[in-house]
Amino acid sequence: MNSILYKTFFGIAATLFLFGASGCSEETTYSYFTIKMSLDPALEPEFLARVGACGLVVTGSDEHQITVPCLGENGKVVESLGAADFSTSEISGQLQFILNVYDFNRKLVALGTSARYGIVPNGQTAASVEAKKIKPDDRADTLKAAPSDSGAP
Amino acid sequence: MAIAGLLLPTLMTSARADEEPAKPVAADVADSESEAVPVEETPDLPAEIPTPATDDETPDALRRSLVTPNVAATEQDEASESDEESNIFTEWWFWAAAAAVVGGTVAVGILASQPSDKPARGCMPGYLCFGDGRE
């Protein structure tokens, strides 16, 4: 009878071990997005002089945000905001990128929304987003759409 | 017949009595401490009741009663084995192994449910890198 106990005990142990070990075999799959960020070339120098901070927000199947260093050493907006490389462990769905530009009073003054890009596991997707000046009439609507802490430093 | 009356209830408790081969009474009585007690009182019985010489002269009940100590010994062995089985739960190594199995399983389950520590690819120069798998 003792042998039955032993067999039962170690049988359960082996089953649990194999069940748990099967979960360890999974590896994270990343999808990559390269986002080219820019400001509307039509923005006036007076407007650009008011820019104090920029932020990039990821929405959709995954959510992230990051501060974009859009000010140069001289305190003025750099001509090119450059590109961001975003990685997600989601394996399906869509992502959208929002570029927020704030003035020194942390008021949203320019906004850019990219198209929706599908997530391709182990894939590389090129995206772009351009921020355009927000008209006073549009500001109320865009503020509602944008997250409250959307990339603001 | 008196000894048969004393030992008959013991005989009735086991249906296996008929299956066990007959063994010498004295040796089994010495090994048994439980239901063989009535047999140990045999010397107090009248001396004129001798052990039957042949099966033909022995009443069936008495003959079966002589087998009873053997049955008792078998039951005692089974009880002893049962004690050994229950004793496994009092062994420290059993509970240590059980704790190791349960703890290991929980740990493996937690680790398996969390994302892998595999980092995302490296950041290219000039790029602002963020997202999953990156600090």
Instruction: Enumerate the domain spans of chain B.
Output: 2-89
Give pLDDT tens digits for A83-109.
Answer: 999 999 999 999 999 999 999 999 999
pLDDT at A71: 87
Reference B130, options A1, A141, A49, A87; nearest CA is A87
Instruction: Name the region of A83 (left: φ>0; alpha: ψ -120 to 50; beta: rest).
Output: beta
pLDDT at B53: 53
Residue A151 lies in a domain: no
List the structure tokens of B67.
């087998």
Please give the residue of chain B at the shortest CA–CA distance from A30: B120
* CATH code, domain carrying A109: 2.60.40
Residue A70 has pLDDT above 50, yes or no: yes
Q: Do A1 and B127 touch (CB under 8 A)?
A: no
B113-120 contacts: CB < 8 A, separation 24 or more? B113/A23, B115/A28, B115/A89, B116/A26, B116/A27, B116/A28, B118/A27, B118/A28, B120/A30, B120/A32, B120/A87
Stretch among B6-20, B69-83, B103-117 having the lowest mean pLDDT = B6-20
Residue A139 lies in a domain: yes
Report how many domains make up chain A: 1
Q: Do B108 and A86 touch (CB under 8 A)?
A: no
Q: Can you tell me the distance from the alpha carbon of B68 to that of B61, in angstroms, rounded to the nearest whole number?
A: 11
At residue A6 the predicted structure's pLDDT band, cuts being 50, 70 and 90, is low
Contacts of B132 in chain A (CB under 8 A): 28, 30, 62, 87-90
- Domain of A46, in residue numbers: 31-145
A9-18, A109-118, B102-111 — most confident range = A109-118
pLDDT at A119: 96
List the structure tokens of A39.
């400001």
Please give the residue of chain B at the shortest CA–CA distance from A2: B85
Q: What is the β-pairing status of strands A83-88 and A124-133?
A: unpaired
Q: Can you tell me the distance from the alpha carbon of A54 to that of A49, in angstroms, rounded to the nearest whole number?
A: 13
Residue A26 lies in a domain: no
CA distance B123 to chain A (A): 7
* Cβ-based neighbour number of residue B70 at 10 Å: 24
Residue A63 has pLDDT above 80, yes or no: yes
Give pLDDT tens digits for B30-63.
Answer: 454 445 455 555 555 555 555 555 555 556 655 5
Q: Is A124 on the interface with B (CB under 8 A)?
A: no
Residue A12 lies in a domain: no
**ipTM of the prediction:** 0.72
Contacts of A30 in chain B (CB under 8 A): 120-121, 132-133
- Higher-confidence residue of B108 and B96: namely B96
